[in-house]
Structures are given as C-alpha cells and as structure tokens.
Chain A
C-alpha cells in the first residue's frame, strides 16, 4: 500500500453570491471546480513535487490530504487511512508545513510554540522535550528558540514551521511552498535536509513549489498541475523529453528580401546583419523541416542548425501555454 493514494479527487468551491442572488435565491449555490479528478500515488520514501501556476490547485490538494478540506468526489488515503472517515489516524502520520508565517503564537517563544503543538500531538514529558530538542537542532534554531516568534525573520519562521512539521516523526511530510520566503542558501539547505530525511529515514515527501529549479533539484517525480488537472507526471528529464515534442534550435541563415518574406512568427532573432540572421526557434522537428524548406525555397542559404535542450522552465511554460492555445 503506497503512503499516498489519490483517486479521481474533485473539489468544488462555492462562488460568492451577489446581493441579487443572495435575496432572490439564497439556497442556490454556484461552484467553481478547483480539482478536476486528480489521481496519483506516491511510494514510501519518495519525493513527489507538485508544480503549477497560482490557482492551479496545489494547496487545495495538500489540504485535502492533510484533512483540512473535504473532497467532493474521489478518494484519498494516507498510509491506507481514508481522509474522510479516518482523519484522526491520517493526522497521526503527517507533518504539515503550512506556508503561512502567521501560523504561530507570535508573542510566545519558538520553544513554547513547539511544546504547545507537541502536546496537541500527544507528546509529553521526556519524549516531548527530546523531540523538541531534536527538531530544534535539525533546523538549526538553537540560538533563537527562546526568543518570541515576533522577533524572528521570515526565514526563521519557515524553519520553525518545518520543525513543527517534524515534531511527530511523520511518515509523510507535506511542504507547501516551503522555500518561498527563504534566501537561496537557506532554501538549498532546506532542500538538502528534506532529501536526506527521505533517503535516510524513508520519509515520504509531498512538496508544492513554483520554483522549477527546486522541483528538479529535489530529484523525485514531478507532477505538473494546472487548472485542477495533472498534465504530466515524471522525472524532470522525462518531462522535458516527453511532454513536448518541441525542441529549441539555433539557426544561422541568410534570405533574399529579409525575414519578412518568410511570414512566420516562430523565430526569435538574436542578431541580424542585412539579409543574414542568427535566430532561435522552439518547435517540433517536422515544423523545423518546413521552416528550413521555406528558407531554401525563397533562395536563402542555411549555414548552421544546432539543436539545444529545453530547460524545465521552458517545457513547463509550453505545457501550460498549450492549454491556453499559445503553443502551436
């Protein structure tokens, strides 16, 4: 049994009513669909990264897994426990690192906060003290832990949030944009830390991010989510290779009458000198062949064609844009 199983998860949010709707049809609800049948499974010790633009449904999905939201359709299990019917058992095995720096009691110290959340998670006595000490050490908060949270920087609060997520020794760690407010060095340290926990302790990790490099660096599978639909799941390399047949090409050519005679918009010109051009194009191989033929048909000469790898960012943009109708 995989630690995380999502089967056809659908989530609808009620839309706010206008005054007219409120008075004329107070019980009639209209909905917007945030998740449209999400399905995936995550294995033990695996790092699974959800990447997508704002409003794609990443946080909604994580909140459903963390029992903070109820799905309208579909089934989600964590370690075999259903999030709808066995939410207490689900909560025992998850650490949820919320992307909300105000999720602590700011006037209390980090230490008091961790102890409070530890007790709510059924830790007590020696075990509580030991766990708090461990997570403080793991997250490098020793110098700050007795100071009020209000005095912490955003990065320190994010570390405290991670410490809280690790308090219960979870088998599933859910991280919702954990590095959003961190500087690059701290973000790298956090990623390294999470990867180490996954490989050494068998910790399963779900991570949502906007950062494509981060997704690639985590080394696990990546799911691209947009408008409540998972577009593709795979390793970074697979996504770059499979999702889009588009490749990036570097071209050097000359054409009588200039580029306007080609009547194409796919080229981005790097440099031009008279009728000579250095340009780049992102397109599938068959379209490149058509382009080259067009240049030759117009009496042009091609001096160089070089294929380059698309970055993950470019692949991601192509996938998202295709859905908007910009890609072809």
Chain B
C-alpha cells in the first residue's frame, strides 16, 4: 500500500506537470543551455588545471557534476517546504491531512516527483556532457548509486527541517538560507574545496555537499570504489542517521504546533 501511495503521488504530480506542457518542455531545454554555458566557460581555463588533477584536470567535467548534483541540494532544501506551501495555497492541505496516511509519508511522497525529475536532470546532464561535449567518464556504478542515495537522505533531512520552519513561520526560513549559502560557497560546486583558505576548508568538511560531490566526482570520473571513498560515505551515513530522525521529529512537532495554533492552512 505504501508503494501504491508513492506511485499515486508521482502520478498526481506528473499529470499536473504535464498539464503545463510548455513549462514542462522548457525545463528540459534549460538543462541543455546551462551545460552549454559551462562548456564555453571551461574553454577559458583550458585543460589540465593542477588543482583539478585528482578529478581528471578538466574544468567542464568538474563543473558539470557539481551543477548536476547541486540541483539535488536545491530540490531537497526547497521541495518539502514548497510542497507544503503549494498544498496550503491550493487549499488541499486539510484534505490530505484528514486521510489515513501518516504525515511523514505525506511529506515524503509530496516531494518524490521533484526528486525523480532531478534525477532525470542529473542523468540528462551527464548524458549530454558525455555524448556531445566529450566528458570522459569512468563510472563505478555501485559507488555512484550509494552516493546518490546518501545525497538524497542527507539533503532531504535538511529539507524536512526547512519544511518545519515553513509549517510554523510560513515564510522566512533562516535554516535554508544559511545552509544553501554555505553549500554554494564552500561545498565545492564550481571550484574544488582546496582553493579555499584553511579555516574555510575546515567548515567545508562539515557540509554534506562537500562529501556528496567528492564521492560523485571520484566515482563517475575516476571509477573509485566505495572502499576508496570510505571517509566520504561514512560522514554522510553518520549525518543522515542523526539528521533524518531529528528532522522527522521536528516536523511532527511543527505540525502539532500548527494544529494547536490553528495555522495549518495559513500561508
């Protein structure tokens, strides 16, 4: 039944997205043009950049994976809170909360489509990069899959905490702002963490994005195994084990507060 519910959420969101046909196809076009921008940008730097040697030396390949997987971060941070906000604005939140589906599942499934669509984007980024822009990939599929899973669990926990803020304060979530700014700046999306000053490198070490991107780059560009990437995945496992239950607990508290204050449908 749980899988059926997940599939029905996917079906609902897919049908809704498809009903806005122009926007649906425009999003796909956006992927291609974003890749093109970074392809031309990479020509500025040339090949064999010393700081990028661990990743193969090619800036375009480095940036491509950084951008592709940072979309996961964006979706994870924004998707849960935007799903709640969307249900509040549409007026459907009470209708789904009065059903027999537990709240954690409702919040998880509401974001499923966005995660799936982002995965599709990531595949598209890598496919276009590999097929049209000569990005050389040496993929360790198992390692890449594990890092993808850990990226979702780590980022999702942060996203659920953000959704808890939205449930209580409706707007102005400081957590997402701080987290996304720090990750964009220090997480190694467009440049390696090693270019940062020592002090900032230490802060970067505590961000999940740093480890997700390192693991993804090494498993996709250099074919590193899970054994070789143990420090990265170990950090993400610990991060997820602490943050995921905490985020679900906080979200439950937030829903309870909204029910107590009578602000469940307010936005």
Contacts and interface: CB of A to CB of B under 8 A. Distances in A.
Interface of A: 11, 13-14, 34, 60, 63, 66-70, 72, 88, 91-92, 94, 96, 98, 100-108, 112, 115-117, 119-122, 124, 148, 164, 168
Contact of B98 (A14, A34, A67): A67
Contacts of B260: 69-70, 72
Contacts of A96: 94-95, 98
B100 A68 contact: no
Interface in B90-128: 90-92, 94-102, 106
A303 B106 CA distance: 73
Contacts of A14: 261
A124 B8 CA distance: 11
Find the residue from A14, A105, A108, A122 having the highest chain B CB count within 10 A: A105
A108 B13 CA distance: 10
B94 A100 contact: yes
A22 to B, nearest CB: 12
Interface residues of B, number: 29
A221 B15 CA distance: 44
Given A102-B90, A102-B92, A69 B262 contact: yes
B171 interface: no
9 contacts: A91-B98, A98-B94, A100-B91, A100-B94, A106-B90, A107-B19, A116-B11, A119-B5, A119-B8
Chain B at the A interface: mostly helix, strand, loop or mixed? helix
A117 B16 contact: no
A13 B16 contact: no
A122 B1 contact: yes
Contacts of A104: 92, 95
A107 B100 contact: no
B4 interface: yes
Interface of B: 1, 4-5, 8, 11-12, 15-16, 19-20, 90-92, 94-102, 106, 256, 259-262, 264
A240 B106 CA distance: 47
Given A105-B16, A107-B19, A122-B1, A68 B98 contact: yes
B202 to A, nearest CB: 34
Nearest to B89: A102
A68 B16 contact: no
B26 to A, nearest CB: 17
Contacts of B259: 68-70
A69 B92 CA distance: 16
Find the residue from A69, A108, A115, A164 having the highest chain B CB count within 10 A: A69
Find the residue from A60, A69, A70, A119 having the highest chain B CB count within 10 A: A119
Given A60-B262, A112-B15, A122-B1, A88 B92 contact: no
A206 to B, nearest CB: 14
B90 A105 contact: yes
Given A13-B262, A68-B259, A68-B264, A98 B8 contact: no
Contacts of A119: 4-5, 8
A98 B95 contact: yes
A88 B95 contact: no
The 3 closest A-B pairs by CB, nearest first: A102-B91, A120-B99, A107-B19
A13 B98 contact: no
Find the residue from A68, A101, A106, A121 having the highest chain B CB count within 10 A: A68
Contacts of A107: 15-16, 19-20
A120 B262 CA distance: 23
A148 to B, nearest CB: 8
Nearest to A113: B12
B99 A121 contact: yes
